[in-house]
A and B are shown apart, each in its own frame.
Chain A
Amino acid sequence: MSRLELPDAETQCAELADLIRPRLHPDSVLVGIHSGGVWVAQRLRELLGLSSEIGLIDVSFYRDDYGEKGLHARVRPSSIPFDVEGRPLILVDDVLYTGRTTRAAINALFDYGRPARIQLAVLADRGRRELPVCADFCPWRVELEPSLELILSAGDDDRLQWTVAQDA
Chain B
Amino acid sequence: MHNPQLNANGELTHLLSIEGLPREVIVHILDTASSFLKVSAREVKKVPLLRGKSVFNLFFENSTRTRTTFEIAAKRLSADVINLDVTRSSTAKGETLLDTVDNLVAMHADMFVVRHAASGAPHLIADHLRRLQRSDVHVVNAGDGRHAHPTQGLLDMYTIRHYKRDFSQLVVAIVGDILHSRVARSDIHALTTLGVAEVRAVGPQTLLPACVESMGVRVFNDLRLGLRDCDVVIMLRLQNERMSGTLLPSAREYFRCYGLTPAMLELAKPEAIVMHPGPMNRGVEIDSDVADGPQAVILPQVTYGIAVRMAVMSIIAGN
Q: Is A73 an interface residue (CB 8 A)?
A: yes
Q: Is B217 an interface residue (CB 8 A)?
A: no
Q: Are A70 and B44 in contact (CB under 8 A)?
A: no
Q: Are B34 and A113 in contact (CB under 8 A)?
A: no
Query: What distance in Å separates the Cβ of A34 from its nearest Cβ neighbour in chain B?
Result: 10
Q: Are B48 and A62 in contact (CB under 8 A)?
A: yes
Query: What distance in Å separates the Cβ of B142 from its nearest Cβ neighbour in chain A?
Result: 20
Which residues of B, 36-56, contact A by the 8 Å Cβ criterion? 37-39, 42-44, 46-49
Q: Are A76 and B318 in contact (CB under 8 A)?
A: no
Give per-residue flags for A47-60: 1 if the beta carbon is below 8 A from chain B beta carbons, else 0. Answer: 00000000000101
Task: Mark A residues whose CB is within 8 Å of B.
Answer: 58, 60-62, 66-67, 69-71, 73-79, 107, 111-113
Q: Are A62 and B47 in contact (CB under 8 A)?
A: yes
Q: Are A113 and B49 in contact (CB under 8 A)?
A: no
Contact residue among A70, A74, A111, A112 (Cβ-Cβ distance under 8 Å from B315):
A70
Q: Are A71 and B314 in contact (CB under 8 A)?
A: yes
Known interface pairs A70-B318, A70-B319; A77-B48 also in contact (CB < 8 Å): no
Known interface pairs A66-B49, A70-B11; A77-B318 also in contact (CB < 8 Å): no
Q: Are B44 and A112 in contact (CB under 8 A)?
A: yes
Rounded to whole angstroms, the CA-CA distance of A66 and B44 in the bound complex is 20
A selection of 10 A-B contacts at a CB cut-off of 8 Å is A61-B48, A67-B318, A71-B32, A71-B318, A75-B35, A78-B38, A111-B42, A111-B44, A112-B42, A112-B43
How extensive is the interface on chain B, given as a class?
20 to 34
Rounded to whole angstroms, the CA-CA distance of A137 and B10 in the bound complex is 42
Rounded to whole angstroms, the CA-CA distance of A61 and B46 in the bound complex is 10
Q: Are B47 and A111 in contact (CB under 8 A)?
A: yes
Q: Is B23 an interface residue (CB 8 A)?
A: no
Give per-residue flags for B12-32: 1 if the beta carbon is below 8 A from chain A beta carbons, else 0. Answer: 000000000000000010011
Known contacts A61-B48, A71-B49; can you find 16 more A-B pairs with CB under 8 A? A60-B35, A61-B47, A61-B49, A61-B314, A62-B48, A69-B318, A70-B11, A70-B318, A75-B35, A77-B34, A77-B35, A77-B37, A78-B35, A78-B38, A111-B42, A112-B44
Known interface pairs A66-B318, A69-B318, A71-B318; A111-B35 also in contact (CB < 8 Å): no
Which residue of chain A has its CB nearest to the CB of B47? A61
Which 8 pairs between the two chains have the least Cβ-Cβ distance? A70-B318, A61-B47, A111-B44, A71-B318, A77-B35, A75-B35, A77-B38, A70-B319
